[in-house]
């Protein structure tokens, strides 16, 4: 049977539901959510429907169906499980030129409801040729593809103007959140860092503007103020701008500065948290930053900070980012401040990459053992490092994911 797919704007319009069971309840809720003025005609209703009626969101006429109930209705759903009643509702609707959804009898209905999913401002409606299970399965597959960014989501006909600060995780694209991937699928502009998962850039459409603002150690070719201005300017052009960062935007990522710059400029901004390398890269090397009976807390610092005032107990883990160049002086400062030089220590380079390398030593010897370590790398200091051998099997083990 040929059908004409159509979306209905039912807000404020009277819709009749005849019946009070499971199908009628589900449909009444969906219609009410769409803003319809829902009237239910039934001698009895389900507990769920009774609750909605009690809240005043749905009107209940506690009796059997009458032909006059269709007066003023734009749409009717009949689902009484009594064939004679449902047939009468369908016949009355036909004579009044009111579209009728007929539960359990699609052949005699004049309207059908598809399987529906909503992802942001996209609505998916799937008809399965009369097979509700088939339609639901297709709907779920399409919704998942949209949620993960596997389908194109970019706006084509109207400007949006948005900056999204997206945490890309420690480098493995599989650790990028589904929300981050969805925003990348919507992006008109992607501004990325050196440590962001750059393999996802190959998935972008050819006309997406891609801008590299990556910083090298002690070398920032594009100052932060220019990056802030770039984000604001592109968003003011009505574009969706994704600022793709490594790790989490708020963990030494200057995400807070970019958020404030956007807000001060009146630009809509969204923050999407990412998996921070401070925890994830340690985990890739088999090192939990906390562990019952071994470590009760941890601190995350950069290698450029003074470390003398940090807790100097083995049961408090220290995770140091961006610190391999100062590793020797940092170790000396920690020991001078009271850290035991025999505290286990590790340097994990290029976490979650095929050439990940983990070097395990002690605080007193790690600078010598990891003298050739290169960024990006993190340093972990604390008793939890001793757990690495049990989970990775050897120094320099590859990532476990």
Between 67-71, 185-189, 322-326, 327-331, the lowest mean confidence (pLDDT) is in: 322-326
> CB within 8 A of 195, min separation 6: which ones?
168, 171, 214, 245, 246, 247, 277, 376
Q: Which two tokens stand for residue 45?
A: 């209703």
pTM for the predicted model, two decimal places: 0.67
Q: How far apart are CA 46 and CA 28, in angstroms?
A: 11
Contacts 24+ apart (CB under 8 A), 353-358: 353/171, 353/172, 353/399, 354/398, 356/284, 356/285, 356/397, 356/398, 356/399, 357/396, 358/285, 358/388, 358/392, 358/395, 358/396, 358/397
215 catalytic per annotation = yes
Tell me, what's the pLDDT at 389?
A: 61
> CB within 8 A of 309, min separation 6: which ones?
337
Collapsing DSSP to helix, strand or coil, 174 comes out as helix
Which of 86, 193, 248, 383 does the annotation list as catalytic?
193
Q: Which fold is adopted by the domain 1-112?
A: Rossmann fold (3.40.50)
Which of 105, 215, 233, 315 does the annotation list as catalytic?
215
Is the pLDDT at 73 greater than 90? The verdict is yes
Tell me, what's the pLDDT at 1?
A: 57
Between 147-151, 171-175, 319-323, 335-339, the lowest mean confidence (pLDDT) is in: 147-151
Tell me, what's the pLDDT at 160?
A: 77
386: nearest Cα among 276, 277, 295, 307: 295
Class in CATH terms, 278-389: alpha beta
Is the pLDDT at 157 greater than 60? The verdict is yes
Q: How far apart are CA 214 and CA 150, in angstroms?
A: 26
Q: How far apart are CA 304 and CA 78, in angstroms?
A: 70
Tell me, what's the pLDDT at 237?
A: 93
Q: Which fold is adopted by the domain 162-275?
A: Cobalt-precorrin-4 Transmethylase; domain 1 (3.40.1010)
Q: What is the CA radius of gyration of the chain?
A: 30
Of residues 43 and 312, the one with the higher pLDDT is 43
102 catalytic per annotation = no
377: nearest Cα among 396, 358, 362: 358
Sign of the dihedral defined by the CA atoms of residues 217, 380, 307, 325, in that order: negative
22 sits in which H/E element:
helix 22-33
């Amino acid at each position: 049977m040929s059908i004409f797919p159509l979306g209905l704007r039912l807000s404020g319009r009277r819709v009749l539901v005849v019946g009070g069971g499971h199908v009628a309840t589900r449909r009444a809720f969906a219609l009410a959510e769409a803003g319809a003025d829902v009237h239910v005609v039934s001698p009895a209703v389900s507990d769920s429907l009774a609750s909605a009626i009690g809240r005043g969101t749905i009107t209940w006429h506690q009796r059997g169906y009458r032909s006059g109930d269709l007066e003023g209705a734009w749409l009717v759903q009949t689902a009484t499980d009594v064939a004679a009643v449902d047939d009468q509702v369908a016949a009355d609707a036909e004579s009044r030129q009111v579209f009728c959804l007929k539960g359990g009898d699609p052949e005699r209905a004049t309207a059908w409801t598809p399987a529906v999913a909503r992802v942001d401002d996209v609505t998916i409606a799937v008809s399965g040729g009369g097979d509700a299970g088939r339609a639901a399965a297709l709907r779920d597959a399409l919704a998942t593809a949209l949620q993960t960014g596997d389908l194109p989501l970019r706006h084509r006909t109207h400007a949006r103007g948005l900056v999204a600060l997206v945490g890309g995780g420690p480098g493995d694209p599989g650790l990028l959140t589904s929300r981050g991937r969805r925003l990348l699928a919507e992006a008109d502009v992607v501004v990325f860092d050196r440590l962001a998962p750059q393999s996802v850039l190959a998935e972008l459409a050819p006309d997406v503007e891609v801008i590299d603002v990556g910083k090298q150690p002690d070398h920032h070719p594009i100052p932060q103020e220019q990056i802030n201005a770039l984000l604001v300017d592109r968003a003011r052009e009505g574009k969706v701008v994704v600022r793709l960062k490594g790790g989490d935007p708020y963990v030494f990522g200057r995400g807070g500065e970019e958020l404030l710059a956007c807000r001060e400029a009146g630009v809509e901004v969204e923050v999407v948290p990412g998996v921070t390398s401070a925890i994830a890269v340690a985990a890739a090397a088999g090192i939990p930053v906390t562990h019952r009976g071994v470590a009760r807390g941890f601190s995350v610092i950069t290698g450029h900070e003074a470390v003398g005032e940090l807790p100097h107990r083995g049961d408090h883990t220290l995770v140091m980012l961006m610190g391999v160049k100062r590793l020797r002086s940092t170790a000396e400062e920690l020991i001078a401040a009271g850290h035991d030089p025999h505290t286990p220590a590790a340097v994990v380079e290029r976490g979650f990459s095929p050439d990940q390398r983990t070097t395990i030593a002690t605080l007193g010897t790690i600078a010598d053992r990891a003298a050739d370590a290169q960024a990006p790398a993190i340093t972990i200091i604390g008793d939890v490092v001793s757990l690495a051998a049990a989970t990775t099997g050897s120094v320099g083990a590859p990532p476990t994911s």
